Structure 1
Amino acid sequence: MFYFLSKTLSVLINTAFMHGLLLAILFCLLTIKRTRRFAIRGLVFVTGFSLLITVIPVGTILSRALETRFDKPVLTEQEFAGAITLAGSLDPSSYLKRGEVHVGASADRLFTMLRFASLYPDKPVLFTGGDGNLTERGFSEAVVLENWLDESGLKTSNMYFEEKSRNTHENATKSLEMVYRDWPELAKKPWVLITSAQHMPRAVGVFRQAGWNVIPYPVDRFTSDDIHLASLNVSDGIKSLGRALREWVGLTAYYWTGRTDAWFPGPQNPGAEN
C-alpha cells in the first residue's frame, strides 16, 4: 500500500506535469463561455505563480538545504567495508523503446561507482535498484547496467547487483539481506553510501533505520553556492521546485511511516554504530 500511495503522490507533486495539466484544463475551460471568467482567473494565477517561483528560486533554496546536509568525506581517513550505489541514473524509456542504455542527470552515481570499483578492488561495490515504476514493465536497472558493463568490458570482479528493489526503502532492506547472505562479517561495518546529494538525507535516514552503518558520499549536486534571484528560466524554476518537493514530501512520508530514523537526517560521527 505504501508503495502504491508513494508513487501516486509523486505524480501529484510533479510540478512540471501538474503545470502542463492545469494549463490544458484552463485552456479547455476558456473555450466554454460559462467557465471563461474562471479560466482567465486561473490562467492569471498559474502565470503569476510560475513567475514567482522563477524570480524567487524556491526550488533552488529547498534543494540547496538538502544538498549541503552532508559533506563529501575524506575516505583515506576512514575504514569501510564496501560501497553501495543507488539506482536512478538510467532512462528506462530509452531502453524499453529502443534497447539503448541512456544515462540521465544522475550520471555521477555511476562514474563514482566505477571509480570505487577500480580504487578498492578488494572491497565489494554493490549497485541496488530494479524498476521504480508502479506497474511491471520488464525492466531492472541493475540487470541492464550489469549487462552493459559486462559487454563494455567495464565490469570488475568486485561489482555486485541487487535487481529487485523498487524504492529507497527496498534498496536498504534488500541490499542488507544480500550483505548478510554473502558477507555476514561485513554487515555491521561502515559502508559508503553513494547517491545524489539531494537524495542523500532521505537515503541516509532509510539506511540507518534498516540497520546499516553508512558513510554518506553525496554526488550529483544541482545547486551552486550562490543563489541568484530574478532568473527568467521558467521551465528550470518549475523543474527545480518539483525535484525539491519530491524529496521533502518523501522525507515527511518516510518519517511518518517509520522508514527513516529522523525527519531530516544529519551527519553522525564517522563509523558510529546505529
Structure 2
Amino acid sequence: MKSYLISLIIPLNLCIFLVILGVLFAIFKRKLLSFFSIMAGLSWLLLWSLPITSLILGGYLENRYPYTPPSISPTAEAIVVFGGNTANNRANWFGNYSKQTRHARIDTADDLFFMGKAPKIILSGAALEGNVSEAQGMAMQLRNRGIPKENLLIENKSTTTRENAFFVDKLLKQEGITKILLVTSALHMPRSMAVLQNLGYHPIPAPNPPQIVLPPGLHPFLPNTRALEGSRSIIKEYIGLMTYYIRGWI
C-alpha cells in the first residue's frame, strides 16, 4: 500500500495523472475542474523541482539527529547498519554521482570500527535483486577493508525499516547486546531511531554526513532536475513516518 502511495504522489507521476484528469474534465466541459486539476499537477511538479523544497523538508529530517564525526562518537557494544543507499550515496543531494566523493553507510561503520567505537558490526538488509543480500554485500566490502569475519553479524531477511529493527532485535538479544551505535543516512535516521526506540532500545545515532546541502552556484528557487529526482526519497520518508505512526510501529 505504501509503495503504491509513494508511486502515485511522486511529482512527475502525480502531475501526469492530474493533467490527464484535467483533460478529461475539459472533454466533459467541466472547465473549472479542468483548470484546477491541471494547475495542481503543474504546481506539485514545480514545487518539488525547487531546491528550497528539499532543503526545508529533507533538511528538517536530516537535522533531527545532527551528524557527529566518528572520532568523537561515544563507544557501544555494536554498530548496527541499516541497508539502503539514499540518493545513491551522493556526497551532495544536488550533485552528480561520483565514486570518489560518494559516502556509503559502510564507510561510516568502517570509520567507527577502526576508531574503536564498538567491537562488532551488525549488517541488516535482504536481497533486493539477485541472490546476494544487501547485508552480505556490505559484509564482503568490510572484510575487504580488513575487518575480520568474526566481528561481523549478518541479518539478511529484512526488506523494510521495520523489518530491519525486528530482525536486528533478535540478533541483539541472542548476543546480549543493549548499547548500539545506529548507522544509516541522515534522512533515514528519524524513522530508524523511532522503530528501535519502540522496541525498547536507546540507540546512539551515527548518521552519514548530511546530503541535502546547497552547493555553491545553485539557486534555491530555480528548478533543478536533481531536486526533482531526489524528491522520491524525501516523500518516502514522510509517508513512512506517517504509516509507521498510524500502525503503532513508532
TM-score normalised by structure 1 residue count: 0.69
Matched, 1:60 2:41: no
Q: Does structure 2 retain, via aligned residues, the 8 Å contact 1:200–1:216?
A: yes
Whether 1:15 and 2:11 are equivalent positions in the alignment is yes
**Residue in structure 2 matched with residue 156 of structure 1 by the alignment:** 148
Deviation sequence 1:17-37 (CA, Å, 0-9, x none): 4446666x579x69xx94799
Partner of 2:186: 197
Structure 1 residue corresponding to 2:200, chosen from 206, 211, 218: 211
Q: Which letter maps to 1:70? A: Y
Aligned to 1:232: 223
CA pair 44-10 structure 1, distance change in 2 beyond 3 A: closer
Query: Residues 106, 126 of structure 1: CA spacing in aligned structure 2 closer, same or farther, 3 A cutoff?
Result: farther
* AA aligned opposite 2:203: V
Q: Distance in 1 between matches of 2:120 and 2:102?
A: 22
Q: Which residue of 2 aligns with 1:180?
A: 173
Tell me the equivalent position of 2:248. Answer: 258
Structure 1 gap ranges (5+) = 93-102, 261-274
Cα deviation code 1:84-137 (max 9, x no counterpart): 111013999xxxxxxxxxx8x974312112222322286101111114x6xx86
CA–CA distance in 2 between the matches of 1:108 and 1:236? 19
| Residues 135-173 of structure 1, C-alpha deviations (whole Å, 9 max, x = no match) | x864521123334555x4644332222111111111112
- On the 8 A contact 2:67/2:186 being kept in 1, the answer is no
Q: CA RMSD in A?
A: 3.8
Q: How far apart, in 1, do the equivalents of 2:209 and 2:53 lie? A: 19
Q: Secondary structure at the match of 2:126?
A: coil
- Deviation of residue 258 (structure 1)? 1.3
Could you tell me how far apart the structure 1 residues matched to 2:10 and 2:47 are? Answer: 17
Aligned residue pairs total 233
Is the counterpart of residue 246 in structure 1 residue 230 in structure 2?
Answer: no
Pair 1:16–1:111, CA change in 2 (3 A): farther
1:64 match: secondary structure: helix
SS at match of 2:193: helix
Question: Is the contact between residue 73 and residue 117 of structure 2 (CA under 8 Å) also seen in structure 1?
Answer: no
Kept in 2, the 8 Å contact 1:109–1:220? The answer is no
SS in 2 for 1:160: strand
Larger mean Cα displacement after TM superposition, 75-84 or 110-119: 75-84
Q: Percent identity?
A: 23
Return the offset for 1:191.
Answer: 0.8
Cα distance, 1:252–1:112 mapped onto 2, change above 3 Å = same
